[in-house]
């Protein structure tokens, strides 16, 4: 990719098509919104990166109450053309973040996994929806970190440093992105779109695979629906 970036209106149309395919319901572009059924919508947030393949996406559960019903996240796509990069970014978002958020609407377990507030692999006191865990990389390392993430769920390890630090008692989005290769390593936790340093340090300290030949990455997203202890 040579640094070009698709216009926002094109990205919105691509997002609407993808969401319509996943949900089986019509989503359409209405001004700055990708509007779904009922009160839900997706917006392109302000890009906090100069990377042409980086996209900030805000999922709004109630367009009349955006301040307290919006889940913000960011994603980076890759490919040979601007169209491939944007489409891949939207796909990654849908398979992780989108799967958890749309499952809150579906409520049938078809898109993501529900965990009760007392689930040993969940988040104490919170109902959890755990989105997809995807991975990418090179050669034999293609799914190395992803397989580790599937077998070593992150929430019980992150909960101690995340508990008590949220600004609201519902709709908390936690994105984990980690991996790398020889000489490089990334471990990032974002909470409602904001980097969480302590949780990122915990993630960096876990014993996930560090390939010495090639690279491997994993990404997942967890939605804390509501604090059932308040």
Per-residue pLDDT of the chain (230 residues; tens, 9 = 90+): 456 889 999 999 999 999 999 999 999 999 999 999 999 999 998 776 777 889 999 999 999 999 999 999 999 998 999 999 999 999 999 999 999 999 999 999 999 999 999 999 999 999 999 999 999 999 888 899 999 999 998 999 999 999 988 989 999 999 999 999 888 999 999 999 999 999 999 999 999 999 988 999 999 999 999 998 75
Q: Count the Cβ atoms, other than its own, within 10 Å of residue 21.
A: 10
DSSP three-state, residue 212: coil
pLDDT value at position 165? 85
Distance CA 27, CA 5 (A): 23
Q: Count the Cβ atoms, other than its own, within 10 Å of residue 75.
A: 23
Distance CA 177, CA 143 (A): 14
Distance CA 126, CA 165 (A): 14
Distance CA 5, CA 85 (A): 9
Torsion angles phi and psi, residue 165, rounded to 5:
-110, 15
Torsion angles phi and psi, residue 83, rounded to 5:
-65, -45
Q: Count the Cβ atoms, other than its own, within 10 Å of residue 189.
A: 24
**pTM for the predicted model, two decimal places:** 0.94
Distance CA 173, CA 93 (A): 13
Distance CA 171, CA 159 (A): 16
pLDDT value at position 230? 57
pLDDT value at position 172? 97
**C-alpha closest to that of 113 among 2, 221, 227:** 221
Distance CA 49, CA 78 (A): 15
End-to-end CA distance of the chain: 49
pLDDT value at position 194? 94
Q: Are 44 and 56 in contact (CB under 8 A)?
A: yes
């Amino acid at each position: 990719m040579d640094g070009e970036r698709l216009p926002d209106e094109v990205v919105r149309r691509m997002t609407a098509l993808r969401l319509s395919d996943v949900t089986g319901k019509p989503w359409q572009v209405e001004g700055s919104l990708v509007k779904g059924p009922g009160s839900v919508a997706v917006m392109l947030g302000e890009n906090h990166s100069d990377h042409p393949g980086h996209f900030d996406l805000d999922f709004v559960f109630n367009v009349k109450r955006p301040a307290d019903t919006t889940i913000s996240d960011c994603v980076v796509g890759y490919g040979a053309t601007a169209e491939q990069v944007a489409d891949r970014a939207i796909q990654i978002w849908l398979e992780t973040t989108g799967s958890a958020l749309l499952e809150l609407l579906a409520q049938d377990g078809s898109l993501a996994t529900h965990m009760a507030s007392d689930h040993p692999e969940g988040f104490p006191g919170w109902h959890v929806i755990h989105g997809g865990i995807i991975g990418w990389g090179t050669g034999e390392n293609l799914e190395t970190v992803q397989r580790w993430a599937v077998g070593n769920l992150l929430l019980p390890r992150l909960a101690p440093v995340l508990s008590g630090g949220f600004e609201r008692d519902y709709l908390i989005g936690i994105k984990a992105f980690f991996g790398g290769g020889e000489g490089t390593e990334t471990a990032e936790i974002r909470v409602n779109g904001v980097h969480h340093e302590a949780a990122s340090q915990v993630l960096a300290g876990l014993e996930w695979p560090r390939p010495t030949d090639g690279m491997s990455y994993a990404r997942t997203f967890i939605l804390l629906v509501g604090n059932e202890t308040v």
